[in-house]
Structure formats: C-alpha cells, structure tokens
C-alpha cells in the first residue's frame, strides 16, 4: 500500500491509498474554495449524561446531487470534485461539513472506489483489503491526536438510511469522548469480569459457537452471528476469533481473511429480499475500544452490520418505544434471521 497526503484548496487534508507502490498523485485542487470555518458545538445532556453535537452548518451540505455532479467522483472531463485526480483506488479526506472539528474531534470521508455505480459488495478482495488498511491507518493516526478518545469507522448505505450521496463511501468519526454505546459495553464487561472472572466478549462468542443456531458464517479467523438479543430485523456481529481491542491489533492472518468474509456477508444482505429488488439499505459499524478509558483491555473489536428493512417493501421504524424509551422491539426472531442469512450464501 502507498499513502500520499495532499491538501484541498480550502486546506483540508486528503489521503490517497493505492495498491501500487509506483502510483504518483500530484494533481492539485483548482477549485476556488474559501477556507473552512466550521464550529460544531458539543452539548452535555444533564439528564442522560451523553453528548449532542450541534452542527448547524450541515443544513447546507450537498444533498442528492444530479447525475454528473457527484462530489466523490474523480475530477475529469473538466468537472472538478473533492478528489483532484482523474482516478483513484481509495481516498480519505476531511469532511467539508463535519459534525466534529478541531478540539471537538474530526470527521473524515472514505471513498471505496472511483466507480460511482458500484457498492462495497462489488469490490474485489484486493480492494476490500486496501479499505481495511485505510481504516487501520486512520485509526492509528487519529489515536495520536490528544483530543481524540475513540475512532468510529462506518458505512451508511441506501437512501432509506439517510444517505445523501449515492457514491460508495463511508465515514470516520474521531470522538473527543467515549460514545454512550461503548460506555455501556465497558460497564457490562467490567461487571461480567467481577461476577465470573471471565471476559464478556469471549463468553458471548463462545456461547454463539456452542449453540450454533445463530451463527451465519464461521471461518478460520472470524465468526459472524446474529446476536441473541438482536435489536434490528437482520443484524450480524462479526468478531475475530482472537479478541483484540481495535483494528490496529489484528494479526496478519485475520487481515488476510477479512475481505472474503466481509464481502460474503454484504452479498448475502443484498440477496435477503430477492433478486432484482432494490439494494438492501444497511449500516456497517466498527466498534473499537476507546484509547484511554478504563477497561480498554476487556473490549472486543467487532463489526456490526444491520438493515432497517424487515421484509420486502417494509422498513423497521424507530417509533415510540425505540425512540422515546430506547426499548427495541424486533419483528424477526434472531434464529430465523440467521437461518435466512445462511440460505443466502453464495453458491
């Protein structure tokens, strides 16, 4: 992998990740952009104890641009975009409309391919491995920033999820705090250790392996299963068999096997609701340990993949119980979801 760093016209950092070591990236951003002047505000909720980012400038972000005006496509044929070069493998750049910035953290965009009409599931294993390398590199670089406590790599796919740009891409949030979901998992892990003397993530994976009925895919170095108390109609958790706190700690064997396993899971999601239908909307989220929080060594890196579609043409809405009280009601039994995902395996 070759990494090339450059700056966009407004001062934001852009990084090219290329498979070939001899790739040269020297195109300049010729757009007349003013310097970025965004000031997201973090507000603490005294009742819930969590943090809300107030980012009013995001009201003006690009929203479903017309064909030929995608800001994530390469700059070519006289049209200038966020990526100055005429083609690319994987690109990461600072978000022009960030939810977090400066002392409040950092937001980055990850473009998986220059092909506007592709999806992550269309990528080959070599390109998926390059994306994993980019996620890992960004986790390491952002971990070195003093204001960053946790790095969250994720992809939103589909208009139903709320995606405003159709180009295949994900994002990276570098939080200046530990996310509420992670705090809950750390507390659960600490309580489990105090009660049993064992690791919570190890016991969760061991239970799923032993019971088997919710396992979707098992490989030499990874295991994917529908969790016992899945919140979403179709939700898979992908764990490395050797527990590690974050992407930086994966060993070479797990890295080498990941692309094939992950691409297979994504393709199964796309086959869930029948051939010829609209692509399955999903969220894919890497859960990594915070860098300095107590209990970091108890955390287990895992990827959460879920869709809000519960049946063809039907979405799972977060209504009163979920949105008002954070009590989820799942319409699809986890065992049935796992069975359906096994049936959707590639031939």
Active site members: 169
The secondary structure of residue 155, as a DSSP letter, is: E
The answer to whether 270 and 345 are in contact (CB under 8 A) is no
Instruction: List the beta bridge partners of residue 169.
Output: 111
Among candidates 140, 214, 180, which has minimal Cα distance to 49? Answer: 180
The answer to whether 92 and 14 are in contact (CB under 8 A) is yes
Q: How many CA atoms lie within 13 A of 201 on its CB side?
A: 26
Longest CA–CA separation in the chain, Å: 64
Helix, coil or strand: residue 98: coil
Sheet holding 90-94: strands in order across? 2-7, 13-18, 90-94, 106-111, 169-175, 150-157, 282-287, 302-307, 234-240, 222-225, 215-218
The answer to whether 214 and 334 are in contact (CB under 8 A) is yes
End-to-end CA distance of the chain: 31
């Amino acid at each position: 992998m070759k990494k090339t760093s450059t700056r966009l016209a407004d001062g934001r950092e852009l990084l090219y990740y290329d498979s070939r070591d001899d790739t040269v990236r020297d195109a300049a951003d010729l757009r007349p952009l003013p310097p970025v002047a965004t000031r997201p505000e973090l507000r603490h909720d005294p009742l819930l104890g969590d943090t809300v980012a107030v980012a009013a400038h995001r009201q003006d972000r690009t929203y479903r641009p017309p064909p030929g005006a995608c800001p994530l496509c390469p700059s070519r044929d006289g049209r200038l975009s966020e990526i100055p070069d005429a083609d690319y493998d994987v690109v990461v750049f600072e978000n022009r409309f960030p939810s977090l910035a400066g002392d409040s953290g950092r937001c980055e965009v990850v473009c998986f391919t220059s092909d506007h009409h592709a999806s992550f599931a269309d990528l080959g294993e070599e390109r998926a491995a390059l994306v994993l390398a980019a996620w890992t590199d960004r986790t390491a670089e952002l971990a070195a920033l003093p204001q960053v406590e946790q790095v969250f790599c994720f992809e939103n796919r589909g208009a139903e999820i709320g995606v405003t740009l159709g180009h295949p891409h994900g994002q990276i949030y570098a939080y200046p705090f530990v996310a509420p979901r992670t705090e809950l998992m750390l507390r659960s892990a600490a309580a489990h250790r105090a009660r049993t003397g064992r690791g919570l993530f190890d016991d969760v994976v061991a239970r799923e392996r032993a019971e088997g009925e919710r396992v979707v895919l098992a490989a030499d170095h990874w295991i994917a299963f529908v969790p016992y108390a899945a919140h979403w109609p179709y939700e898979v958790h992908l764990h490395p068999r050797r527990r590690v706190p974050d992407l930086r700690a994966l060993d070479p064997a797990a890295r080498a096997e990941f692309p094939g396993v992950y691409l297979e899971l994504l393709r199964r999601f796309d086959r869930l609701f029948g051939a010829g239908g609209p692509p399955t909307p999903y969220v894919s989220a890497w859960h990594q340990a915070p860098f300095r929080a107590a209990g970091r060594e108890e955390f287990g890196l895992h990827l959460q993949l879920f869709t809000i579609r519960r049946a063809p043409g039907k979405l799972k809405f977060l209504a009163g119980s979920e949105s008002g009280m954070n009590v989820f009601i799942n319409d699809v039994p986890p065992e049935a979801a796992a069975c359906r995902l096994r049936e959707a395996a590639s031939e």
